Structure 1
């Protein structure tokens, strides 16, 4: 009996030591709103004859105005000597319906495991954000707000990639990152101007380049000033070959008291499997955050895309958008908000053929302009809770 008690006490001490060296955190966001949008059409795909249809105004409940609804688990284990194991499993869902997002993936937002060293940095493996997305996160005035942020136009639909090896290192005020994807796992259906689907999972024997992606970025932040530069490339399947989607960006920010101004430029080029130019554009953004009181925050952002060529058309009307957000925080975890935007020569989020309508297809709510329309206005009132 005495030996049993001693053994039990030793086991309890061991379990306590293991717990002290490891941690797992459950976290998440639930965000929902009521939205009004005008001049809405349908996403032009093969099933509707590539027809954007008649114009309608819609009032609907949406999931995610300031943040995509999600729940996740993140954890670490101290391995000693400044080394630890890390993992993240993050699932995106539609708070209005309870359904999974990211094409029905269980952990579609992030799913990775890796090792982190205090001196060297972090190496992670799995589904992750690309390096340029991470680098520009602190230089987006709306902080990648789900509702109207033109993140697909800025970054491309491959801003998350499957099968990815990623490195992130922080050295004083400098953060550096790089990644390689063996198969991005991004697949878009045929739309107007695109005769075949784009992308896929890759990782096909004998076709190493198929659907691969890679990139790198460096960011600097010290005091009120910040700056970043990044590059991203995706080689999606197009027909029986591979195209190339290349993007490079620079951005900067400056904070003064309760205000912060930021802006940037993104160069973009897409070519098909025959190395023929599909799209060439220059994307610009500028905006500001202003914390009126500890509880009230205001955001204004302007985006403009100079489309130099789109499927051979060099006279495309350049899209632009202005967006405004006001939010009131009841606490650190709960806030309410108003978000609104006006887009010209494209739908909200600057949705058009230039984005292959990827935002609408992902969200399940159309922001495609109807036939005969050239502008779109939207506004939403919502609530967000973090846990």
Structure 2
């Protein structure tokens, strides 16, 4: 009897003990929509002779319109003396098919562990967002909406990187960020006759620079005013060497009443392993959020890319896009939305050979312009639930 009583007491005590020690939160987003888009072609590749083919209109179901569908685990542990152990494991998935995103990674969106100081900041190690991408998050009018915001053109296809050491510090209204990746784990195929394949697994013995990356950023948020500065560099594998892809950005926002206006500029320059220019552009964006009622919010965004040089051509038509989002909250966790966009001289999200069609490849839905076309329209109606 004493043994049975002891076992029963242990079973009863276990949940309470786990609850007291646990600081793990399960969270996620389920976002899905039905979309129409016109003038859609195939993603150019060696298999189709880099020819996107004839124009088609598509009617499809997409996972992720305003947010990428995901589930994750986030945890902290108090270590004493103002220190905490922290971790995040976040998995992206396709809600329409139940498959994993980010190349089939189990935790492809984020996967890191670190130590956080109440006064000195946080050091984290693993797969993480770049400093510039994180700094610009509050200055992207559509809040990095998966479907139509040109995130890859703005921050680079390497906005998530493997093997990364990252610092984040909060000092009053200023947030400082810096990171270094030993190997980004990003590979983009050749998507045009003059284009090149870039990237790889990185962390190659004897080739420390190959696929490495680093960057830094800072934001200032005080009252209605916000300012961000950022720099990012990726050294992707190109042939047997490594190139140099650089980006720098500045952005600002101002909030008054139910409205927030924001905009920014991003300078970009890509060079091959020999130091010759691959691409040079200036990207601009401007937009606004307006809360019409507590339930209804509107977003308008305009993006423009001034292309100075792309694979040796200086006569490239400059891509631009205008996008609108109407989002209606049915509750604190569930909303319905309408997204629409018109892109010129590139596909939606401004996907083109300049971005190696990285958005289309990642989503599994082509936004490549068909042969002979120079514009694309997209409209989507969806529902999102946050848990």
TM-score range, shorter chain: over 0.9
In the alignment, which residue of structure 1 is the partner of 2:359?
A: 359
1:99 CA displacement: 0.7
Once superposed, what is the RMSD of the aligned Cα atoms?
1.7
For residues 204 and 367 of structure 2, what CA distance do their matches in structure 1 show? 34
1:315 CA displacement: 1.1
In the alignment, which residue of structure 1 is the partner of 2:275?
A: 275
For residues 365 and 22 of structure 1, what CA distance do their matches in structure 2 show? 40
Total equivalences in the alignment: 387
1:197 CA displacement: 2.1
In the alignment, which residue of structure 2 is the partner of 1:155?
A: 155
Deviations 1:9-51 (A, max 9, x none): 7998798567435411111101000000000011110111111
In the alignment, which residue of structure 2 is the partner of 1:75?
A: 75
For the Cα contact (< 8 Å) 1:369–1:375, is it kept in 2? yes
The 3-state SS of whatever aligns with 2:58 is strand
Q: How does 1:239-318 map to 2 (within 5 A)?
A: 239-318=239-318
For residues 208 and 5 of structure 2, what CA distance do their matches in structure 1 show? 59
For residues 10 and 363 of structure 2, what CA distance do their matches in structure 1 show? 53
For the Cα contact (< 8 Å) 1:73–1:88, is it kept in 2? yes
For residues 128 and 185 of structure 1, what CA distance do their matches in structure 2 show? 12
Change (3 A) 1:172 1:109: same
Change (3 A) 1:51 1:380: same
The 3-state SS of whatever aligns with 1:184 is coil
For the Cα contact (< 8 Å) 1:91–1:106, is it kept in 2? yes
1:201 CA displacement: 1.3
The 3-state SS of whatever aligns with 2:166 is strand
For the Cα contact (< 8 Å) 1:283–1:306, is it kept in 2? yes
For residues 330 and 28 of structure 2, what CA distance do their matches in structure 1 show? 18
For residues 33 and 275 of structure 1, what CA distance do their matches in structure 2 show? 43
For residues 196 and 249 of structure 1, what CA distance do their matches in structure 2 show? 25
Change (3 A) 1:15 1:65: closer
**Length-normalised TM-score, structure 2:** 0.96
Question: Unpaired runs of 5+ in structure 2?
Answer: none
**In the alignment, structure 1 residue 174 sits paired with structure 2 residue 174:** yes
Residues 186-195 or 129-138, more deviating? 186-195
In the alignment, which residue of structure 2 is the partner of 1:225?
A: 225
1:7 CA displacement: 10
In the alignment, which residue of structure 2 is the partner of 1:23?
A: 23
The 3-state SS of whatever aligns with 1:376 is strand
